[in-house]
Chains A and B, each alone.
Chain A
Amino acid sequence: GQQLNQSPQSMFIQEGEDVSMNCTSSSIFNTWLWYKQEPGEGPVLLIALYKAGELTSNGRLTAQFGITRKDSFLNISASIPSDVGIYFCAGPQRGAQKLVFGQGTRLTINP
C-alpha cells in the first residue's frame, strides 16, 4: 500500500528554537493530516490540509500541503517544553477507508 516517509525521525533542540519536519509519498494524497502524540496518550489531530498549496496555522504551528500533492511540511515556531512528543503525518487512501501514517518524528526539547 501507500507509504509515507517522515523526516527527521528524531530531533533534539533547545527551547525557543524553530522546528521543521516533512512527510513525503510516492503517490498523490488529497488530504494531509498532522497528529501529535504525547507520552501515554493517543494521537490528537493538530492540522488538516485539504488543498494543494494550502498553508494553515494553528497557533505556533504551520503546515503546508505541497504543490505536487506528494509532500507536506510542519513547522513549529519558538518551541516550548510542552511541544515534546511524536508528530505523525497521515493521509487517507483514495477509495479505501484507511488512514496511512508516517513513521513519526520524535521531538525532544532541552530547557
Chain B
Amino acid sequence: EAQVTQNPRYLITVTGKKLTVTCSQNMNHEYMSWYRQDPGLGLRQIYYSMNVEVTDKGDVPEGYKVSRKEKRNFPLILESPSPNQTSLYFCASRWVSSYNSPLHFGNGTRLTVT
C-alpha cells in the first residue's frame, strides 16, 4: 500500500531535549516536505526536499533541521525544542516532475513540549 509513515504519532517532551520525528514514503517520490498545523493557521511549511541531499527552507524553519540522505526518508530534527513548537506535524511527499501533482500526507505527529 502506498503510504507516508511518520513516527511517533504522539510525543511529549521537555524543553531542550533533542528529538527526531521520522518520515518514510514507499512511493519513490522525489519531493518530501514537513508541515506544522496550528489552530486558525492551517498548515505551514517548515522544510522541503526536492531530492536526495537537496533541502530548502519553507515558511517557518526556525528551530528545525532536516536531512535527506535517502530518497525514502526525511526526518525532522528539533535540536532544542521549545513550548512554541508544540503542534501537529505532517510529513508529505509527491512526484517532483510537476508541481501540480498532489501531496500525499502521513497521519501526523502530535508533539507537546513542556
Contact = CB atoms under 8 A, between A and B. Distances in A.
A101 B43 contact: yes
A33 B56 CA distance: 23
Chain A interface: which size bin?
20 to 34
B99 A41 contact: no
A44 B105 contact: yes
Contacts of B106: 42
A40 to B, nearest CB: 7
Contacts of A48: 100, 102
B102 A9 contact: no
B92 A92 contact: no
Given A40-B107, A42-B108, A43-B90, A97 B99 contact: yes
- Interface residues of chain A: helix, strand, loop or mixed (majority): loop
Given A92-B100, A97-B48, A103 B90 contact: no
Interface of B: 4, 31, 33, 35, 40-45, 48, 50, 56, 58-59, 90, 92, 96, 99-100, 102-103, 105-108
B108 A41 contact: yes
Given A92-B100, A97-B99, A42 B92 contact: yes
Contacts of A88: 42-43
Contacts of B92: 42
